[in-house]
Amino acid sequence: MPPRRRPRGGQPGRGGVRTGGDPLTEPGSAAYLAEQRRELLRFAAAARTEAGFGWLDDTGRLAPGRPTELWITCRMTHVFSLGLLAGERPAPGGPDAGELRALAEHGVRALLDGPLADETYGGWRATVPGDDDKLGYGHAFVVLAGSSASVARLDGGEELLAAAIATVEKRFWVEDDGMVVDRWDRVWSDLDPYRGVNANMHAVEAFLAAGDVTGDATWHERAGRISARVVDWARGNGWRVPEHFDERWRPRLEHNRDRPADPFQPYGATVGHGLEWARLLVAVDRTLGAAAPGGLVDAAVALADRAAEDGWAADGQPGFVYTTDWEGRPVVRSRMHWVAAEAVATAEVLHRATGDGRWSRAAAEWWRWIDEHLVDRENGSWRHELDERNRPVAEVWPGKPDVYHAYQAALLPALPVVPSFASALAAAGGVPGV
C-alpha cells in the first residue's frame, strides 16, 4: 500500500527533482505534464520509416538492424493521433498539428498497405522482416490505432478500424472462453497452445476504445468478460495476476522460470501489469455501469495495493522492480519506465474512483521519482530501463522504442477516466485549458 513503505535509500527532492520551487513545474503538475507530452512527441517523430515506425535508440535515432514491429507502429500511430487531438503547441523542434497528422496518417497507410499487412492471408505480421506470425498482442494495438485514427478523422482511419475489428472477431476472439488467443502462424492454420493475459489486457484497452468509437456495446461487454476472468484468477492467487496459461486456460506459474527477464513473457508476477489492470478495471466499471461485473473497483484497489507493496522499493532502493515470484519476492530488479508510467496513471484513477488521498500522495511521490531517474533531459524521452540502483541499463529494453505508456501517463490527469483517450479528447476539443 503506497503510504506504508517510503523509499529506502532514496532522497526525493534531490538529484535534479524539481520540488519546492515553482508549483507549475512540480512533477505531475499540469504544466509539467504538458511539457512531457510535447517532448515525447518531439522525440517520437524520428521513428518514421518506410514500413511504419521503427525502434529508436537512446539518443532518438533509428537503431540499425532492427525490424519494423507491428506493436511499435500501432502505438506510434495511436500516440500521434492523440497528439493531434490534444491540440497543444509543439515543443521547439517538435511536430506541429500538420506534421502530427502526417505522421499519424503515415502510420495508418503503413498498416493498411505496407509490408506489415498480409495481403495474401489477412491480418498483420508481427515484424518485417523476421516474424510472419499473427499475434493477439499486436492485433489489439491495430484496433487501438484504428480507433484513435478514426476519432482523429485521419484518411483511412475508419477502414483500418473496420479491418482490425473483423480480424480480431474472426481469428482471435473465442466466444466460449471470453478471451483472445495469442499466436497464429501466417496462414491461420496453426494456433499456438500458449495463452497469455498480456494480449488480453491490451485487448481490454482496445475493446473499450473500439466500443467508444463504433457505438457497438459488444466490445465493451467483451472487455468486461475478460476482466472478470482475470479478477477471478488474481483473487485466487493473492492478487498477483497469473500471466501464462495453456490452451485450456490453466495457469502455468513456472513458465519461463529459466528466462525471467523476458520482455513479453517474464516469469512470475509482473508488477506493472497488476497496476495496469487496476486502471483498466476502473475504466471497465465506469463504461459498463450497472452491467459491469461486480466488485471491479475493489479488485482494482487490491491489485494496485499488492503491486505497490510487492514492487515499490522492494529491494531497499526507490523504484518498481520488474517482477516478483509468487510470494512477492523480487526476481528481476530492473526498473522499467512503463511500470512507473502505469503506476502514476493508476494512482490518478484510483484517487478519483475511491477519494482516498493516499493515491494522490503516491502519485506525487512516483512522479518525483520519474522526474529524477527516468526523464532524460539531455537526449529526450524517458530512460526505458534502470538497474536496482537506478542507473541506466539495457538488459531487457535497449534504447527508447516506446512513448505510449509515458505519453498516456502524462495525458490521463487532464481527462476523465472514461471514455477512452481519443474519444475523451475529441469530446473536450483537446486538452482542457490548453
- Residues classed as catalytic: 273, 405
Give the helix ranges, DSSP H, for 312-383: 337-354, 357-373
Angle between helices 70-86 and 97-113 (to 10 degrees): 150
| Residue 227 near residue 169 (C-beta atoms within 8 A) | no
Across 117-149, b (16+ Cβ under 10 Å) vs e yields: bbeeebbbbbbbeebebbbbbbbbbbbbbbbbb
| Residue 163 near residue 112 (C-beta atoms within 8 A) | yes
Q: How many residues does the chain have?
A: 434
Residue 252, classed as helix, strand or coil, is: coil
**Using CA atoms, how far apart are residues 223 and 208, in angstroms rounded to an integer?**
7
Cell, residue 433: 485549458
**Using CA atoms, how far apart are residues 52 and 128, in angstroms rounded to an integer?**
10
**Using CA atoms, how far apart are residues 4 and 23, in angstroms rounded to an integer?**
26
Residues with Cβ within 8 Å of 64's Cβ and at least 6 positions away in sequence, in order, are: none
Q: Is 155 exposed, middle or buried (0-12, 13-18, 19+ CB in 10 A)?
A: middle
Q: CB 416: neighbour CB atoms within 10 A?
A: 13
Name the E strands within 98-226: 127-128, 134-135, 173-174, 179-180, 183-184, 195-196
Chain centroid to CA 383: 16
Residue type, 128: V
Chain centroid to CA 29: 21
Residue found by looking up cell 503538475 in the block: 29
Cell, residue 408: 498516456
**Using CA atoms, how far apart are residues 119 and 112, in angstroms rounded to an integer?**
9
| Residue 33 near residue 413 (C-beta atoms within 8 A) | yes
Give the helix ranges, DSSP H, for 64-135: 70-86, 97-113
